[in-house]
Structure 1
């Protein structure tokens, strides 16, 4: 299996109508989903135990049983979108996940020591793998599709949007918190004449970026954001705040505040959730982004109290659906070259990750925000660019 010829044609599992099976059928029917139906979003059941896992473990059981091959769907993105739009996740509240929720609420899972784990587990998978899935600059965040038709255009449009929102000028010194493979830094240096310092917790990212951009005024550091204490004209953070955790939001904003010069601007680009609760999807937490957590608008607002003026807040979360689908198309096309190295289980896990996230953005269950923050506010007001 793998490549663009993915198929769900397997022998359907003939299930017995236990009470859990009947309850699952009823819940799915309320979302317009059938078991072994003919629609692209219908679940094709291949093994027993799937209803039991879903009711016992919620999204964790749903994702793990998919990766194990117990069920399929031609369009998992559409399946997840329909599940979320029907609010079925609110009707299935597994008791086994209470401990997970309590850990997220009370423990600091993003300490200085634990912060490096996501780099090792996720971002250090291999630069060749990400190069095959992403755009040429290796931009692993939401593109801006307003006037774009390709992934590369959408990512460059996003990078330029950030530069214009920050009002970059030649000679400015810019800090990129969570710089990834240096896509923003390289674009800003090439097109706006700035010099940049970027920090990341991924060794693979830092080394790749140093080799890719030797001639630009860029410095890539393997460093935790909490250790920063030097002045910058502008600060940007694109797709890193999702790894900070609610216990550290205020600390994060205090670091940005002490590093930003007076009259400076700080742009925060982050995925966000609609509800204020310290809870992350257990499947994503276990297999994709360990210790991650999405903020709410209220949580970010609390964190910036008396530190920054919120000059602008822009939501283009619907664009992440299109970005993820473009990544998925690239992943499918490139998969034959990685099949022997990474294997069938990784293929199913990564396919589920990309498409489930696309479905969540499509359902508007999660968002993508760009915040423009200023110390003391912009004189005579901030003028949004688009």
Structure 2
């Protein structure tokens, strides 16, 4: 009786988005366990995601399913205690203090270099690619790096800082193609070990440390896909650190996921299984944090490119399942698929954005056309 009532409630929620239970469309939900409906109503996306990991339901097009859910704002109609508790914790506590800085490295970026090397491009770039006039992920990631470094106006011999360098692909590209000296920092020991071998270039130095410990001066500073781990309580200090380390005639570029509304927490499922202590910034939170410190030179938006990037990553994982099966469980693969495709749907729905923000300490002198 209760399962029927819960099912009816979920069906009513999904109906405006054209999503059916056990329907014939690729984005419809095939239910294997009737307890799913109560789990959705009680726990929102946390329950929905965990139920998928537990094989309680399936869907042939999870990205399309999430696009429809988010485009029609169905997620706003399910308010759970878990979401409230997560938001409250983010307001009360600083979840990104230095003592917690390495948690995301241990729990996500240390997942396995074998997985990431098969999922990503050959440069191991784990961030949104730039797909203009590109036919594949390899080209799109190189175009993204070229775009960033052209915006920064890199010149041979410059001293450059990469905050959140990942596996070192961006640092190596900058060193090889622009003749600069790059220091990359990461909070993942597996990333650091990989990057040191991967780069193997005297112009690239990789360090395992938190950004707050930085004190050296650099001509240029950039971060690609790291700002999502800073946390709103630390945004101001983050820009103060950059100001401390950036030359007065320097430039800084932040490449980050962004949100349409201010937030003090992240999605409970993403926080629990993918990016602990992460937080998606709103534009107002970023501008308020650098106000009085930096001059805004450019704000570039290209959200749909992350949809294409995530779909490519998912396709790469699917192509390499046989190579990965011995290292990872079926539940892990379901979790990873849910992560990649639900996020793809969120970018397609423009629930999430991608921003490249170019800043200077005192304003660029003279005419400057920002590359696109």
Residue 316 of structure 2 corresponds to 330
In structure 2, runs of 5+ residues without a counterpart are: none
1:74-113 aligned at under 5 Å gives the runs 74-113=60-99
1:364-383 aligned at under 5 Å gives the runs 364-383=350-369
Give secondary structure in 2 for the equivalent of 1:313: strand
2:117 pairs, out of 125, 131, 135, with 131
Give the number of equivalent residue pairs. 372
Residue 22 of structure 1 corresponds to 8
How many Å separate the matches in 2 of 1:307 and 1:134? 35
How many Å separate the matches in 1 of 2:210 and 2:368? 31
Q: Does 1:282 align with 2:268?
A: yes
Residue 171 of structure 2 corresponds to 185
TM-score normalised over the length of structure 1: 0.95
Give secondary structure in 2 for the equivalent of 1:319: helix
Are the counterparts in 2 of residues 177 and 240 from structure 1 also a CA contact under 8 Å?
yes
Residue 194 of structure 2 corresponds to 208
Give secondary structure in 1 for the equivalent of 2:111: coil
Are the counterparts in 1 of residues 169 and 199 from structure 2 also a CA contact under 8 Å?
no
Deviations 1:366-386 (A, max 9, x none): 000000000011112542111
Q: Does 1:158 align with 2:144?
A: yes
Are the counterparts in 2 of residues 186 and 216 from structure 1 also a CA contact under 8 Å?
no
1:32 pairs, out of 11, 18, 21, with 18
Deviations 1:250-282 (A, max 9, x none): 110000011000110000000010001213110
Moved more, 251-260 or 375-384: 375-384
Residue 199 of structure 1 corresponds to 185
Are the counterparts in 2 of residues 269 and 370 from structure 1 also a CA contact under 8 Å?
yes
How many Å separate the matches in 2 of 1:211 and 1:276? 39
How many Å separate the matches in 2 of 1:360 and 1:61? 18
Deviation at 1:341, TM superposition (A): 1.9
How many Å separate the matches in 1 of 2:339 and 2:324? 17
Q: Does 1:343 align with 2:343?
A: no
Are the counterparts in 2 of residues 311 and 382 from structure 1 also a CA contact under 8 Å?
no
Are the counterparts in 2 of residues 189 and 216 from structure 1 also a CA contact under 8 Å?
no
1:55 pairs, out of 21, 28, 41, with 41
Residue 142 of structure 1 corresponds to 128
Residue 342 of structure 2 corresponds to 356
Q: Does 1:41 align with 2:24?
A: no
Deviation at 1:86, TM superposition (A): 0.7
Give secondary structure in 2 for the equivalent of 1:110: coil
TM-score normalised over the length of structure 2: 0.98
Are the counterparts in 1 of residues 29 and 59 from structure 2 also a CA contact under 8 Å?
yes
Are the counterparts in 1 of residues 6 and 38 from structure 2 also a CA contact under 8 Å?
yes
In structure 1, runs of 5+ residues without a counterpart are: 1-14
How many Å separate the matches in 2 of 1:265 and 1:22? 55
How many Å separate the matches in 2 of 1:212 and 1:279? 34
Q: Does 1:258 align with 2:244?
A: yes
How many Å separate the matches in 2 of 1:233 and 1:305? 21
How many Å separate the matches in 2 of 1:340 and 1:263? 51
Deviation at 1:338, TM superposition (A): 1.4
Root-mean-square deviation (CA), in Å? 1.1
Are the counterparts in 1 of residues 156 and 180 from structure 2 also a CA contact under 8 Å?
yes
Deviation at 1:213, TM superposition (A): 1.9
1:316 pairs, out of 299, 302, 318, with 302
